[in-house]
Amino acid sequence: MNRSKLTALTVPAVIVVILDQLSKHWIRISPSYHHWEVIPGWLSFNYTQNPGMALGMRWASTEVISIVAIIATIGILTYVLYNREQATKGYLLCMGLVLGGAFGNIIDRLVMGYLESYGGLLEGHVVDFIHFDLVISGYPVFPYIFNVADVAISTAIIAMILFHKKVMPQDFTSPDGPDSIDQDSQAVSTHLEEE
């Protein structure tokens, strides 16, 4: 991987991890902001610790969820590195945001149990505190509480959906790129015609 591609992947990841962990540390040590209206009727801080997955989903014990999260993150990182040559810088930037967000939440799962004295390794709960409390016609627009890591992951996914033609690599199926697929197809056609 050349330096510019490596930078596109690692810099966003490192920035997200730092911002995520600093913001979580700040909210943890600032009880006066645990329940605070930032923009009345729109945005507030509501400090909580999530033992489950994104959006508070919990289908297994915290330890199992932590292990699954770690395996999934390793899988994503392996996939990105394996396909690094075909990857665009935009794709690597987005995946850097995803990996940074994943690592930020994994850090919580690894150490929060110790820091808060309620558990051990893999028993940590993820710190969430950002809450859009906008209500329209009596229904909350987005009732979930999240963190900076979640914002990074969501932003990357939305960017890849909106700009997939520019961001996504042209081909992940052939190590030599799309031209090799055309050449292989022509070779097969020629061989069949000769028979």
20 assigned to active site: no
d(CA 71, CA 110): 14
Predicted TM-score (pTM) of this structure: 0.82
- For residue 109, the SS3 value is helix
Say which of 150, 171, 176, 182 is annotated catalytic. 150
Quick one: DSSP state of residue 124? P
179 assigned to active site: no
Band (170; pLDDT cuts 50, 70, 90): low
Q: Determine which helix (DSSP H) or strand (DSSP E) holds 145, and give its type and residue range.
A: strand 145-146
Whether residue 177 has pLDDT greater than 60: no
Average pLDDT estimate for 101-125:
92
Q: What is the pLDDT of residues 34-91, one digit of tens each?
A: 999 999 989 999 999 999 887 667 778 899 999 999 999 999 999 999 998 899 999 9
Higher pLDDT residue, 191 or 73? 73
Q: How many Å from the N-terminal Cα to the C-terminal Cα in the chain?
A: 42
Band (167; pLDDT cuts 50, 70, 90): confident
Whether residue 174 has pLDDT greater than 70: no
Higher pLDDT residue, 181 or 2? 2
Say which of 128, 133, 176, 179 is annotated catalytic. 128
Q: Where are the domains of the chain?
A: 3-194
Whether residue 191 has pLDDT greater than 70: no
Name the E strands within 5-142: 35-39, 43-50, 126-132, 135-136, 139-140
